[in-house]
Every structure is written in structure tokens, then in C-alpha cells.
Amino acid sequence: MSLAPIRLFVLNGPNTNLYGLDPTGPYGTLTLEDIAETCRTRAQALGGTVDFRQSNHEGALVDWIQEARLAADGIVINAGSLSYSSIAILDALAAVSKPALQVHVSNVFKREAFRHHSPLSAAVMGCIIGLGPEGYPTAVEALIRHIRAV
């Protein structure tokens, strides 16, 4: 029996397009495209697909979350700095009612205090924090397994 592919949106917010440009920084040496390819490979191995997107604009992320209502089975989101301030993204995630996981590449609890709370956490199943770029494919795998189990 063949199962329908699980379709995931992996959404990325401001400045995530700069990953890999500062190997001494908190985000490592992999570029966002390197991470996207790893996510696609992991999803494919589990019978899923990944639509990987990045924008520096809050409204684009909201639009994509709303699009996911009909076009995706789940959402992985790293909203970048908007993780700490965007009620619009929180409301979109809550309204769409798709299973979602939030990814933080760095360990936010070892950084500035304002990063210790993300309003988005109230609208997602869970958060993967501090695993570096491996947090993305880990989230993809966990979300596909969760959706298959439901």
C-alpha cells in the first residue's frame, strides 16, 4: 500500500538567508540552501516533500502560513527575529490549525534575555532549540512521523 506524500512548508524569516556567511557566528557554516537540501533529502526518505521558503518580510510569512491551510500537511517555522515579536505570525499559525514545529538554530537560552520567550510557541506543537542546522531535518522528520501517526 502506498501512502500519499506528506507535504511540509519549511518557512524562514529575516536574516536566515545569511546563514553560513559568518562561520564564527552562532549559526554555523551551512547556508540556508544547504539546510534546504538536507530537509528535502530527509523528507523524501520518509515519504514526504518540502517546500522550503525564506523572506525578510513578516507579511510574506503570514501569507505562506495561510497558503499552507490548503497546500501543506504541516509547517516547520524559523521566523528568525520575528519569533520574539510577531503576533501576526502567531495568529496565522493558530488560525491555520496545521501541526507545526518551531526551530531555533542557536540555543536562545544562552543568548540575550529577549530571546528567551517566543509568542509563536503558543501555536506550535513544540520547539527544537540549539541543535544548529540539524534542528531543521530533525523537525521535518518529527513532523512527518507525527502526521503519519495521527
Residue 8 in grid coordinates: 511540509
Catalytic residue among 19, 57, 84, 104: 104
Return mean pLDDT, the chain: 91
Per DSSP bridges, beta strands 74-78 and 100-104 are: parallel
Tell me the backbone φ, ψ of residue 10, rounded to 5 degrees.
Answer: -115, 110
Active site residue 104: yes
- Do the beta carbons of residue 76 and residue 103 sit within 8 Å? yes
What is the radius of gyration, based on Cα positions, of the chain? Answer: 14
Indicate if the pLDDT at residue 87 is higher than 90.
Answer: yes
DSSP state of 101: E
Annotated binding residues for substrate: 78, 91, 105-106, 115
Q: What is the pLDDT of residues 31-57, one digit of tens each?
A: 999 999 999 999 999 999 999 999 999
Q: Can you give the residue ranges of every domain in the chain? A: 6-149
CATH level 3 topology of 6-149? Rossmann fold (3.40.50)
Annotated binding residues: 78, 91, 105-106, 115
Question: Residue 1's pLDDT band (boundaries 50, 70, 90)?
Answer: very low
Catalytic residue among 27, 84, 116, 136: 27
